[in-house]
A and B are shown apart, each in its own frame.
Chain A
Amino acid sequence: MFDLLGTAAFWSSAITGATPIAFAALGALFASRSGSLFVGVEATLLGSAFVALVVAVQSGSTWLGVLAGLLSGLVLGLVNGLLSMQLAMGDVVAGLVLQILVTGATGLLVARWYPNGLAAGALQLGPSWPSTGDGALDVVVRQPVLVYAAVVVAVAMVAFFRTAPGLVVRASGDSLRVAYALRVPVARVRYAALSVAGAITGVGGAFLALGVVGVFTTGVTSGRGFVALACVILAAWRPVLAVVAALLFSAAYTYGFQTDDASLAALQVLPYVLTIVVIAFSKAGRGPADEGKGLVVVGR
């Protein structure tokens, strides 16, 4: 019944499919720990996928594309912060408005500049070294470099949260009251965290365009950014677990997509249902206390 789980091809596409989600989840997690609910992660993923692909195609260099994805993600994270804090839209409206604008703008530009479609062609991020000859071993050791980069970012984030600046970021998310008492410039911390979050997400967008899908349409992210928000919750706000959660989502989706058994296709909804169960019935589903509550201390 679950024979797909034994095949190298299944795991290979599950892992590549998980990577953009993992980057987006790490970005959302970082923003979340600083107190921003990064609803604009979907918009950031879409915008950076577009910019990365355009730059890669125009320059002929995939790595310039990845860099462009990172930078555009940074800018979009910052814009998300401006909409949310400076314009006082709040995290949710800011993220959703950004999504509408990025969808419209990328749709317009791709139709103007690439009427025949925007595709990576040969410029895809593939494995950069030869096969070991063992299919199962290849699945683990012969992935594109950015797959391993996601794990490195996760570990680095764990380490960062233990440093003094990391503590400042966490304080901004866990308790506005304490952060202000310690003279933490909360707004600035959140802008900085959103920029970093956007940059990390931007790498995910670049990998989505150049390593997973290979073409750009305005539907290319198909909700992966929101899936990333779910990963943050399933992982109880722990970076390494967020990468594992991304793999779970990707595996469930890939399985539902690849299987011939129609009833097992329903597996695709499992991660979403699981997320709802976690936020409703698990203490682990509680995030940073002051996440998404703006910059003003309310209540006692």
Chain B
Amino acid sequence: MSVDIETQASTDPAAEDSSARRAPAVLARFAAPIGLQVLAFVVAIAVSLLLVAALGYDVGAVLAAVVDGAFGSAHAVSSSLTQAAPLVLTATAVWLAYQVGLFNVGGDGQLQVGGLAALVVALALGDLPGVLTIAVAVVAAVLGGAAWAAVAGLLRAYRGANEVISTIMLNFVAATAISLLIAGPLRSPSAKYTPRTDRVAADAQLGDAVPGIPLTFLVALALGVVTVVAVRRTSIGLRLRTIGLNREAATHAGLRVQAMQWQAFAVSGGLAGLAGGLVILGYRYYIAPGWVPAWGLLGIVIAFLALESPGLIPLWAVVLGIIGAAGPAIKGAASVPDAITTVMQGLPVVVVFLVGALARSGPGRRLHAALSRKPE
């Protein structure tokens, strides 16, 4: 949280005048956390590869599959970024809710409801021009996710119901409801054995903006940046952070704490819902069992990797997206179980917290100081 104080300190006149002196400070501010994150990434990959080697697999083949899957072709880059897009949004959603002191564990449910809303709208508006369908479907996805999160947000703000529990339960309600819907009313007549819905019309599908860069990733990135800037640089954002840092002080300062908490939580859900909408319009095009991996869960991991420096959210989203997208290549070309990608995705956050714990415990204090020194 110390970064928050730094941004406020820039109103200090002494700091204003020396823009020349600020440049290295800005650099250091971004370089310092990155040192720790690079360490986390390297250790996570190293441990995973050791595991791969210990199980008697070909480490080189796994590495080749990841590198090839990530940079091998425009299509490979595109599929990695396609996986990164929802991660940017679910991670930003968790980060945003955390700013008002709430924990949004419901990313998975909100994403699924958003996807469902986008799909239903896109199917209903099939006759309209594609652009219009996309616009309405995206709005529906945001509203769906926001409404789903608002249930937990309202109950938390006005009834004190633990949002961790309620969002976990809402995840199950969403998943169960969707599986019943695709087996029943939304089931496509052409689905033979496995139930699935109809496809979104071709002109309402989102493709690549330029070869290798999917539109969905650009949209997600833009919204992630807008959210973080709004929280960090606007007066509403300052109010939100005040609530998160000290709820009591915020109440005494006259902020409408309860209203702002649930509204921020709804916006958080809207971001996750948008992730679902983009997945439908730009990646899956229909809903079938297992249509989304646990992107909400990974969003939580990313948000906690980037808690102090939200600029890292897109970086980690791309890294975990690359690993996730390499799954088929790891399984196919390298003949290694793709579950290794899950291990790779889960380890970095452990390393970051481990370094933090070592720093507190003494022996590793110097290492941590070197890796995450803050500018004066």
Contact = CB atoms under 8 A, between A and B. Distances in A.
Given A96-B105, A262-B184, A281-B159, A101 B347 contact: yes
A103 B339 contact: yes
Nearest to A232: B165
B309 interface: no
A103 to B, nearest CB: 6
Nearest to A262: B184
B164 A276 contact: no
Interface of A: 37, 39, 83, 86-89, 92-93, 96-97, 99-101, 103-109, 111-112, 218, 223, 226-227, 229-230, 233, 262, 265-266, 268-269, 272-273, 275-276, 279-281, 285, 292
B251 interface: no
Contacts of B357: 86-88
Contact of B173 (A39, A265, A272): A272
Contacts of B170: 272, 276
B350 A101 contact: yes
A147 to B, nearest CB: 24
B3 interface: no
Interface string B295-310: 0011011001000000
B161 A88 contact: no
Contacts of A83: 350, 353
Contact of A280 (B159, B173, B349): B159
A280 B180 contact: no
B343 A92 contact: no
A226 B346 contact: no
8 contacts: A87-B356, A87-B357, A89-B304, A92-B105, A229-B165, A272-B176, A273-B173, A279-B155
Given A97-B350, A112-B337, A272-B169, 6 more contacts: A100-B298, A104-B343, A106-B339, A112-B57, A272-B172, A279-B162
A92 B159 CA distance: 21
Contacts of B353: 83, 87-89
Contact of A108 (B159, B165, B343, B349): B343
A239 to B, nearest CB: 19
B350 A87 contact: yes
B263 interface: no
Find the residue from A107, A233, A280, A285 having the highest chain B CB count within 10 A.
A280
Find the residue from B51, B177, B350 having the highest chain A CB count within 10 A.
B350
Contacts of B304: 89, 93
A37 B163 CA distance: 13
Contacts of B346: 97, 100-101, 104
B339 A96 contact: no
Contacts of A101: 342-343, 346-347, 350
B93 to A, nearest CB: 15
B202 interface: no
DSSP majority for the B interface?
Answer: helix
A269 B301 contact: no
A276 B345 contact: no
A83 B343 CA distance: 16
A100 B343 CA distance: 7
Contacts of B162: 279
A260 B344 CA distance: 42
Find the residue from B103, B164, B172, B300 having the highest chain A CB count within 10 A.
B172
A223 B297 CA distance: 13
B45 interface: no
A55 to B, nearest CB: 19
Given A88-B353, A92-B103, A269 B176 contact: yes
Contacts of A103: 339, 342
B324 to A, nearest CB: 12
Contact of A96 (B165, B180, B301, B340): B301
Contacts of A223: 172
A279 B160 CA distance: 8
A104 B356 contact: no
A282 B222 CA distance: 42
Contacts of A88: 353, 356-357, 360
A154 to B, nearest CB: 21
B166 interface: yes
Contacts of B341: 104
Contacts of A111: 337, 339
Contacts of B103: 92
A279 B166 contact: yes
A269 B337 contact: no
A268 B105 CA distance: 21
A266 B180 contact: yes
Contacts of B230: none
A99 B297 contact: yes
A279 B161 contact: yes
A276 B162 CA distance: 9
A105 B337 CA distance: 10
